[in-house]
């Protein structure tokens, strides 16, 4: 039997407690006394155990590990963690299910989150990605509408999962740019039972900048070393009833047994001069970049090797953010990404409090030096009396960090306007994807869509058939036939 160190029960103030199982009462049958501080503290703390769940990606599973580059990426980026193949950068990853609340089954049809935090020597860098390479919308201002349409009905609170939700299809029918994403979501890649066999994609376009100040556009891909596996809709429903936590358990048990889980990081690169030469808009998150023109370049390997010690402290309180970047990595003008830069830190200040970056799981492994102070739950030491800049009394500290290499200072100009991008091309890639699928994958895509779209209003079904028809005549006709048109 495991040996335990002797420990005496205390309150949170450290006062020894000799009984926390019987309330302090007047006589053995009560009433209970207000002065029962053991009782009051125990109940009051319990009453505050829950924090707001994430507004999306509420259910997740996390793991620790490390990342190593295969060779220096110096020609493309000056990011220090991407320079030295002998260096291990610690990482924390959180996989998640997007739409359902915390109790959702792991196998339901949905997008999965694939968020990686690199604790680099230049601060934390987060790649906050998904398991599908594109997204439903291309402008962040539509995100709250998208999520409202996918989350439970605000009247009935029926958690309309995407398979029986007319509101989902209503929104999609009026969002032609979602057609491409739907060909991914309703394929078998939308139902998975193991995170170990799942790809990840940055989806948005970022920039890498080297020491000479030269930038290029890049897109991230994660490939599971074990290969990609998914399950079909029937199996996903069976497992949702039988073993709703199958993906979380699979990850936890694999690591608990001492095995590792590994993924390769790859990037696609595009020269800035080529950005406007494509027939599609490369900064549009509803598009992939063709791999024959922009080949996948292997960058390095991530090895997951340790479970969190406490789910709440590490997984629930982890805060990933596309705005967490390091020198050598920049944002592109991708309008979805630009909104994401704001949203994550904002929701985390609400979900976890102003000092959420002081929590051990979120805290960089390098010193944090600035004059920000106070706020709820501030617990790292302040900088002493000199909490302002410029100053002489503190020898001017903290001083501005030196620029590493030539600064990247892009020039932009344009009219200020609210406008769709001109190269929308909502259907070509959706059709290409359908045509590239095997017979069985096409059959599953169509039956999965029909199985779900049959719950939508007739006018919505007609509109969706038009979209699928515009992508590919066969795809549209087979869906129409399946719906009885």
Residues in contact with ligand HEM by the rule CB under 6 A? 54-57, 60, 94, 96, 113, 115, 128-130, 135, 140, 143, 203-204, 285, 318-320, 336, 339-340, 343-344, 347-348, 351
d(CA 263, CA 272): 28
Report the residue number, 337 or 450, with the smaller CB distance to ligand HEM. 337
* Active-site choice (18, 22, 45, 57): 57
User: Please, are residues 126 and 265 in contact by the beta-carbon 8 Å criterion?
Assistant: no
Give 108: exposed, middle or buried? Use CB within 10 Å, 0-12, 13-18, 19+: buried
User: Please, are residues 203 and 288 in contact by the beta-carbon 8 Å criterion?
Assistant: no
Rg of the chain (C-alpha set): 25
Residue partners of 385: CB distance under 8 A and separation at least 6: 393, 394
Distance of CA 457 to the CA centre of its chain: 32
**Least separation in angstroms between CB 79 and ligand HEM:** 19
Say whether 130 is catalytic.
Answer: yes
Q: What is the DSSP letter of 25?
A: B
Phi-psi sector, 417: left (phi>0), alpha (psi -120 to 50), beta: beta
Say whether 57 is catalytic.
Answer: yes
Report the residue number, 314 or 426, with the smaller CB distance to ligand HEM. 314
Report the residue number, 137 or 209, with the smaller CB distance to ligand HEM. 137
Q: List phi, psi (to 5°) of 431.
A: -65, -45
**Least separation in angstroms between CB 76 and ligand HEM:** 21
- Three-state DSSP at 342 gives helix
Question: Would you state the structure tokens that stand for residue 117, as one six-digit string?
Answer: 């935090």
* Active-site choice (64, 124, 130, 204): 130
What are 61's strand-pairing partners?
Answer: 95
With CB atoms as reference, the residue minimizing the distance to ligand HEM is 113
Report the residue number, 173 or 348, with the smaller CB distance to ligand HEM. 348
d(CA 337, CA 343): 10
Question: Would you state the structure tokens that stand for residue 62, as one six-digit string?
Answer: 């996390």
User: Please, are residues 301 and 106 in contact by the beta-carbon 8 Å criterion?
Assistant: no
**Least separation in angstroms between CB 322 and ligand HEM:** 8
**Least separation in angstroms between CB 346 and ligand HEM:** 7
Question: Would you state the structure tokens that stand for residue 49, as one six-digit string?
Answer: 């155990």
Tell which residue, 88, 21, 49, has the closest CA to residue 300: 88
Residue 202, H or E segment:
none
User: Please, are residues 103 and 59 in contact by the beta-carbon 8 Å criterion?
Assistant: yes
Report the residue number, 221 or 478, with the smaller CB distance to ligand HEM. 221
**Least separation in angstroms between CB 336 and ligand HEM:** 5
**Least separation in angstroms between CB 22 and ligand HEM:** 40
3-state helix, strand, coil in the chain (%, to 5): 30, 15, 50
**Least separation in angstroms between CB 140 and ligand HEM:** 3
Report the residue number, 209 or 337, with the smaller CB distance to ligand HEM. 337
Report the residue number, 151 or 442, with the smaller CB distance to ligand HEM. 151
d(CA 82, CA 327): 11
Catalytic residues, which ones?
57, 130
């Amino acid at each position: 039997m495991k040996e335990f160190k002797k420990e005496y029960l205390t309150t949170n103030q450290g006062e020894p407690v000799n009984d926390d199982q019987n309330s302090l009462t007047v006589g053995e049958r009560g009433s209970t006394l207000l002065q029962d501080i053991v009782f009051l503290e125990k109940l009051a703390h319990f009453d505050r155990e829950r924090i707001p769940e994430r507004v999306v990606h509420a259910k997740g599973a996390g793991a620790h590990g490390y990342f190593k580059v295969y060779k220096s990426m110096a020609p493309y980026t000056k990011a220090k963690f991407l320079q030295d193949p002998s260096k291990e950068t610690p990482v924390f990853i959180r996989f998640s299910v997007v739409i359902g609340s915390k109790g959702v089954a792991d196998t339901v049809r949905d997008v999965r989150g694939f968020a990686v935090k690199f604790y680099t020597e230049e601060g934390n860098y987060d790649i906050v990605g998904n398991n599908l390479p594109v997204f439903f919308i291309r402008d962040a201002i539509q995100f709250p509408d998208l999520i409202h349409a996918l989350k439970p009905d605000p009247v009935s609170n029926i958690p309309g999962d995407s398979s029986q939700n007319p509101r989902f299809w209503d929104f999609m029918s009026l969002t032609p740019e979602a057609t491409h994403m739907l060909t991914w979501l309703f394929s078998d890649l939308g139902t998975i039972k193991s995170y170990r066999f799942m790809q990840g994609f940055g989806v948005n376009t970022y920039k890498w900048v080297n020491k000479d100040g030269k930038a290029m556009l890049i897109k991230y891909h994660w490939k599971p070393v074990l290969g990609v596996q998914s399950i079909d809709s029937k199996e996903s429903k069976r497992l949702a009833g039988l073993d709703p936590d199958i993906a979380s358990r699979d990850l936890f048990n694999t690591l608990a047994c001492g095995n590792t889980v590994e993924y390769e990081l790859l990037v696609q690169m595009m020269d800035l001069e080529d950005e406007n030469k494509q027939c599609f808009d490369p900064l549009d998150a509803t598009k992939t970049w063709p791999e024959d023109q922009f080949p996948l370049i292997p960058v390095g390997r991530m090895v997951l090797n340790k479970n969190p010690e406490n789910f709440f402290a590490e997984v629930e309180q982890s805060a990933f953010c596309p705005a967490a970047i390091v020198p050598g990595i920049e944002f592109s003008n991708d309008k979805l990404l630009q909104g994401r830069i704001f949203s994550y830190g904002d929701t985390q200040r609400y979900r976890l409090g102003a000092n959420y970056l002081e929590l051990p799981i979120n805290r960089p492994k390098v010193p944090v030096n600035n004059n920000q102070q106070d706020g709820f739950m501030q617990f790292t030491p302040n900088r002493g009396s000199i909490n302002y800049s410029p100053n002489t009394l503190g020898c001017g500290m903290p001083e501005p960090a030196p620029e590493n290499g030539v600064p990247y200072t892009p020039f932009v100009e344009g009219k200020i306007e609210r406008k769709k991008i001109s190269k929308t091309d909502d259907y070509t890639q959706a059709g290409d994807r359908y045509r590239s699928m095997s017979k069985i994958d096409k059959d599953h895509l169509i039956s999965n869509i029909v199985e779900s779209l049959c719950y939508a209003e007739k006018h919505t079904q007609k509109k969706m058939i038009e979209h699928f028809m515009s992508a590919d005549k066969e795809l549209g006709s087979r869906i129409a036939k399946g719906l009885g048109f």
